[in-house]
Amino acid sequence: MNADQLTQLDKEYVWHPYSPLRQFQKILPVVQAKGAIIYTSEHREIIDAISSWWTNLHGHAHPYIATKLYEQALKLEHVIFAGFTHEPAVELATRIITLSGLNHRKVFYSDNGSTAIEVAIKMAIQYWHNQGTPKKTILALEDGYHGDTFGAMSVSARGLFTNPFNDLLFDVKYLPLPDGTNRSIQAFHKICESITDPAAFIYEPLIQGTAGMVMYDATEMNQLLNHIKQKEIILIADEVFTGFYRTGTFLASNQLTTTPDIICLSKGLTAGFMPLGLTTCNDRIAGAFEQEDRSKSFFHGHSYTGNPLSCAVANASLDLLERKETLDLIHQLQLSHQTFTESLQSFSRAHKPRYCGTVAAVDFRPDHEKHDYISNWRDILYEFFITRGVLLRPLGTTIYTVPPYGIEHHQMNRIYEVIYEWFEYNQSRL
C-alpha cells in the first residue's frame, strides 16, 4: 500500500482518538520509529517530544524490549488469568510492589489508564460495601483528568470532554488545587460537613497532566492528604502519567509524605510497547476482600487481564529502568529542563516556565485569549512545531515536552530550539 492509498483508506474507514471526524489536520502515515525519531512515508523525520502520549520511556523499537517481546510470544502469548497464572505477571507484580516502596500488598491488572482507574474506584466503593458501612462519595481535585470510561470521566473535571455525558456521570465533590494558601484544606473540611459518606479521594500527584502540566504546591498537598487520611478516606493516587520517573522518582507519590492506599499505573508501564494498566492496593484494602463470603470477591476482569506479552515488556522496561545509565539520563534531562525553563523567563509571553523531573512546560500567553483546549492557538502551535520536525502536542496554549529518556542531546536541543523560535517569532523580549 503506498502512502496515498493508506491516507485515503484511513480517511474512509478509520476513526482517530481526540480528533474531529471531519479531518482538519493532515494525517501522517508512519512507517517506522526508532529511538526518539518517527519516520513518515514522505521521508520526514519527526522528533517525538511527547513520548507518543507519554508512554515511551526508552525510545521507539528498543531492541532489548523487542527481543523480550518476541521471546515471550514464542512461549506464551495469552492465557485466561482466572484460575491460571504465569511468570511474567507474577514477576511484574513483585517488582512493582518492591519498586514503588509503598508497602502495598496486591496488584490487579487491566488494559490501560482508564481501566486502572475504574478498578481503583470500584475497589474503593466495594471496600466500604464489604465492611458493611457503605460509602459512595468520591472526592477529586478540580481540573483533574483520569480517563474516558464512565467512572474515570465522573472523577475527572466536567467540560469539553465530558459534556455529552454529564447527566450520566456520578456526583463528585471537587477540591481546589493546593496553592500554598490552605484553601484546599478549608474546602475539604467544608465538604465533610455536607456529606456523610466520603469514600475515597483521587488525585494526580505533583502534576496534573491533561489540565496543562499544572505543577502544584507539594507542601499543602501533603497536609491535605494527611487531613483526608485522618478521616479514613481511601487515597487513590493516579500515577498513570507520573509513574516511572516522570517526576524524577519512581512514583510521584514517593515525594509526598502520605502514602496512598491505592495507586494506578499505565502509560510508561510497558514503555509504549503494549497496552497494560494496573492498580495496586495496601493491606487495608486487600483485607476487605479476603473473606470467607465469596460474594465479597471483586467481580471484575478483562479478557486480556495479565496478558503475558504486556507483562513481559513491562518487565523488560523495568530492567532498563534499573540500569544506572537510565537513571543518569533521567537526571541529565532534569538538569537540561531546568536550564531551559529558566532561560524562557526572558520572554514576556512565556508564562510560568516550569519543570518537574522529566516534564518541562510553559504557557504561551497570547494577547486577550483565554486558555482553551480547542482554541485556534493550539492548532497553530501544533502546526508550527510539526512543520519544523518536532511532535509537540500543546494542551490548549500550554507547550510541554515529555521526551523518552534515551533522547539524544542534539534532539533534545532541537526541541528546545523550536520552542525558543516560537517565542522569538511571536513576542518581544522583556
Ligand X SMILES: Cc1ncc(COP(=O)(O)O)c(C=O)c1O
Residues that bind ligand X (CB under 6 A): 112-114, 117, 145-147, 204, 209-210, 238, 240-241, 266
C-alpha to C-alpha distance for 366 and 371, rounded to whole angstroms: 9
Cβ distance to ligand X smaller for residue 102 or 157: 157
- DSSP letter at 276? -
Cβ distance to ligand X smaller for residue 36 or 211: 211
Q: Residues near 416 by Cβ (< 8 Å), separated by ≥ 6?
A: 336, 340
CA-angle at 16, arms to 8 and 366, nearest 5°: 110
Spatial contact of 137 and 173, defined as CB atoms under 8 Å apart: yes
Q: How far is the CB of 266 from ligand X (least distance, A)?
A: 5
Q: How far is the CB of 55 from ligand X (least distance, A)?
A: 8
Centre a 10 Å sphere on the Cβ of residue 81 and count the other Cβ atoms it contains: 18
C-alpha to C-alpha distance for 258 and 221, rounded to whole angstroms: 9
Cβ distance to ligand X smaller for residue 112 or 336: 112
Q: Residues near 55 by Cβ (< 8 Å), separated by ≥ 6?
A: 267, 268, 270, 271, 272
Q: Residues near 392 by Cβ (< 8 Å), separated by ≥ 6?
A: 49, 50, 381, 382, 385, 386, 399, 400, 401, 415, 418, 419
Q: How far is the CB of 430 from ligand X (least distance, A)?
A: 33
- Of the candidates 219, 300, 290, 240, the residue with the CA atom closest to the CA atom of residue 114: 240
Q: Which residue is nearest to ligand X (CB)?
A: 113
Q: How far is the CB of 236 from ligand X (least distance, A)?
A: 11
Q: How far is the CB of 118 from ligand X (least distance, A)?
A: 10
Cβ distance to ligand X smaller for residue 204 or 261: 204
Cβ distance to ligand X smaller for residue 207 or 418: 207
In the block, cell 504561551 appears at 364
Q: How far is the CB of 243 from ligand X (least distance, A)?
A: 9
- Of the candidates 262, 256, 253, the residue with the CA atom closest to the CA atom of residue 234: 262
Which helix (H) or strand (E) segment holds residue 277: the answer is strand 277-281
Cβ distance to ligand X smaller for residue 80 or 160: 160
Q: How far is the CB of 53 from ligand X (least distance, A)?
A: 7
Cβ distance to ligand X smaller for residue 146 or 354: 146
Q: How far is the CB of 223 from ligand X (least distance, A)?
A: 22
Cβ distance to ligand X smaller for residue 91 or 143: 143
Strand partners, 361: 354, 400
